[in-house]
Amino acid sequence: MLTLLGVATVVVGFAVRLNPLLVVTLAAFVTGLAAGLTPIAVLEAFGKAFNDNRFVTAAYLVLPVIGVVERAGLQERARALIGRFRGVSVGPFLIGYLAFRQITSALGLTSIAGHAQSVRPMVAPMAEGAVEARTGPLDEPTRQDVRAMASATDNIGLFFGEDIFIAIGSILLMVGFLATSGIVIDPLHLSLWAIPTAIVAFILHAARLLLFDRRLRRGRGA
């Protein structure tokens, strides 16, 4: 039971807004010590796991090119481009992005878009531009709402698309786990049964995007 103190450390640490890197380090020590490891053993295990997971951080290699195109005016261009299509409102625009993200992820192309490489430089400015084209300059809270919704749409499209692809990590994990429990299963079946949820996710989020669009227009008297 004592090992659950580490989980509690995480929950409390995040709740009181300590720096998350400190919280995580603290939680590692609490958990390890509660499990009977020495402090040095915890530090070694934590260091080894950190080193084994460097690939997570390597994805920031896309930032330099994004910075360069931003320097040359990509965000401004993205904003202006959507403004030319007066018919495109923010709701349908983000629904289109949601569909794109779900379909490409279902084909295994999970890394062709993302927060750094597409949301910040293109999708968020275009979403902002779509609102601006209809109702004039955005106030800051609305701008923040639009950006948060653009990021949320990327995540939802990714999560509920990628599991339809056979060779994605989560499918392999399920096949492996069930195999050790004596249940042999074809990965294709797992990916097929991800489709109903994917459809519901699309309908739910698309409906929310339309409501979001309507609220923005009403709230701004346009």
Partner 1 sequence: MIKLSAVYVLAGLVFAAFAVLSALDRNNSRRFGNAAFWGLVALSFLAGDALGDLGNGILVLGLAGIAGLGLLGRGQPATTSPEDRKALAARFGDRLFIPALTLPVVVAFGVLVLKPLELGGQPLLDPKQATLLSLALAAVVAVAVALWLLRQPWISPLQEGRRLMDTVGWAALLPQMLAALGAIFALAGVGQQVGDLVTTWIPMDARLTAVAVYCLGMAGFTMIMGNAFAAFPVMTAGIGLPILMQRFGGDPAVVASIGMLSGFCGTLMTPLAANFNLVPAALLELKDRNAVIKAQIPTALPLLIANIGLMHVLAFR
* Out of 16, 61, 137, 218, the residue judged to bind partner 1 by CB under 8 A: 61
Residue 157 · residue 105 · CB < 8 Å: yes
**One-letter amino acid of 100:** F
Give long-range contacts, CB 8 A cutoff, 24+ apart: 87-92.
88/130, 89/130, 89/134, 89/213, 89/217, 90/127, 90/130, 90/131, 90/146, 90/209, 90/212, 90/213, 90/216, 91/209, 91/210, 91/212, 91/213, 91/214, 92/209, 92/210, 92/213
Q: Is 138 in the site for partner 1 (CB under 8 A)?
A: no
What is the closest distance, in whole angstroms, from the C-beta atom of residue 217 to partner 1 in the complex? 18
Residue 213: name the closest of 80, 92, 78 by CA. Answer: 92
14 binds partner 1 (CB under 8 A): yes
- Tell me which of 12, 86, 169, 215 binds partner 1, using CB under 8 A: 169
User: 48 vs 86, which CB is nearer to partner 1?
Assistant: 48
Smallest gap from Cβ 35 to partner 1, in A, equals 4
Q: Supply the minimum distance, in Å, between the C-beta of residue 216 and partner 1.
A: 13
219 binds partner 1 (CB under 8 A): no
Q: Name which of 63 and 222 has its Cβ closer to partner 1.
A: 63
The window from 89-97, 131-139, 159-167, 214-222 that contacts partner 1 (CB under 8 A) reads 159-167
16 binds partner 1 (CB under 8 A): no
Under the binding rule (CB under 8 A), the answer on residue 27 touching partner 1 is yes
What is the residue whose two structure tokens read 């489709």? 195
- Interface with partner 1, residue 51, by CB under 8 A: yes
- What is the helix, strand, coil percentage profile of the chain, to 5? 80, 0, 20
Is residue 12 a contact point for partner 1 (CB under 8 A)? no
String of contacts with partner 1 for each residue 71-110, x by CB under 8 A? xxxxxxxx-xx--------------------------xxx
Report the Cα 177 to chain-centroid distance in Å. 25
